[in-house]
Chains A and B, each alone.
Chain A
């Protein structure tokens, strides 16, 4: 069935997140879709990118041939440095996060609950090789946690749920959700719609989400 609206692609979601990052903010971008936010940072703002492997002030990917194996991001991809960058060891990298010195962290997710619970590290399948990386530290550490993800799984199930069924990464840690359909704030009174894509009305968004949403 063709939908009467056009969902955002991954880059458009990333660009939407980037639009909300304030000048002067310290931002950590998770692996996957969130990493793409770095490609859309507004040129007129100084936004300092933090990485769990010990760097502040990351720049974009290097030109082919200029990669340095000693200069990589959390996804182990080569990056560059901006003027003003700094290096530090792993315990400091996480102390910066846990200590509340990172303003915004953008993470991918499998599921987010209406209370802001986050599930993004394990599908809980018996045969899966577990791996958590920095996900749990990021979820509890940053001052504000943004999730960037598709609204639905490939089979059409909403990733925004009353209660997460996948193993939890953190409790009540998500502040805002960016999807291919909408931007939602997690508040004490539940999810509030801040933004919808063109052609999508509130009632349809609620029906597609499956949990109560308040119009913003």
Chain B
């Protein structure tokens, strides 16, 4: 019998080692696995490499993880926000490494990792500072930059509903990075609003098939 449900967020993240690369889903508040991030803060793993679109805001969630000095390096597209002072301070002091990645490259590098692709040439960033030092090629008369996959040890994502096999459906724009991060990590942990019986999800509607998901934690969250 396959049962990927785990009772608590803490139990789902108990084995995250120091030095792990951890993808965290979400774009703004949508799709942010808040309970899993809090559990990662409490868990204590250090020297982490984080992959997220942003670099935290305020003092909660990812910002709390940064503030606790647990993150060595972050890959993201948009760290600067009006309330990203925790990241801003660490960055200005040289106390965190930043790899700034154009958002579409971030998504495609994650997708490539999950699909077993060794890299790809893309026009995004050609001729800019973010392509410096990278291999380039002219394809059909247009400059392209070689980008490599981003693999992770853990992916923490949020979805609307799951079954015990780990099949997932998402809600609206909360889908964002969830489906691709699920494919790119050795262990994908999904925080879901509800776990439903096997067979209750319409196979035509499953967005992330269960083989990409190793652990499911039900965290009931009120939605409109």
Contacts and interface: CB of A to CB of B under 8 A. Distances in A.
Interface residues of A, number: 42
Nearest to A95: B108
A53 interface: yes
B98 interface: yes
A20 B101 CA distance: 32
A185 B66 CA distance: 45
Interface string A84-105: 0001111101110110000000
A137 B87 CA distance: 24
27 contacts: A52-B104, A53-B173, A53-B176, A54-B176, A55-B173, A67-B224, A70-B174, A70-B223, A76-B27, A88-B175, A90-B176, A91-B107, A95-B108, A98-B104, A127-B92, A129-B88, A130-B80, A131-B77, A131-B79, A132-B77, A133-B77, A134-B102, A134-B104, A136-B102, A140-B126, A167-B129, A169-B128
Contact of A137 (B79, B105, B175): B105
Interface in A49-76: 51-55, 66-72, 76
Interface string B114-140: 000000001111111110000000000
Interface of B: 27-31, 77-80, 84, 87-88, 91-92, 98, 100-105, 107-108, 110-111, 122-130, 143, 170-180, 207, 223-224
A140 B129 CA distance: 15
Nearest to A67: B224
Contact of B173 (A54, A95, A128): A54
B149 to A, nearest CB: 12
Interface of A: 51-55, 66-72, 76, 87-91, 93-95, 97-98, 122, 127-137, 140-141, 167-171
A91 B105 contact: no
Given A55-B173, A129-B91, A131-B78, A137 B111 contact: no
A134 B107 CA distance: 10
Chain A interface mostly helix, strand, loop or mixed?
loop
Given A69-B30, A69-B224, A93-B104, 15 more contacts: A52-B104, A70-B173, A70-B223, A71-B172, A72-B27, A87-B170, A87-B173, A90-B176, A98-B122, A129-B80, A131-B78, A131-B79, A137-B102, A169-B128, A171-B143
Contacts of B28: 53, 72, 76
B103 A134 contact: yes
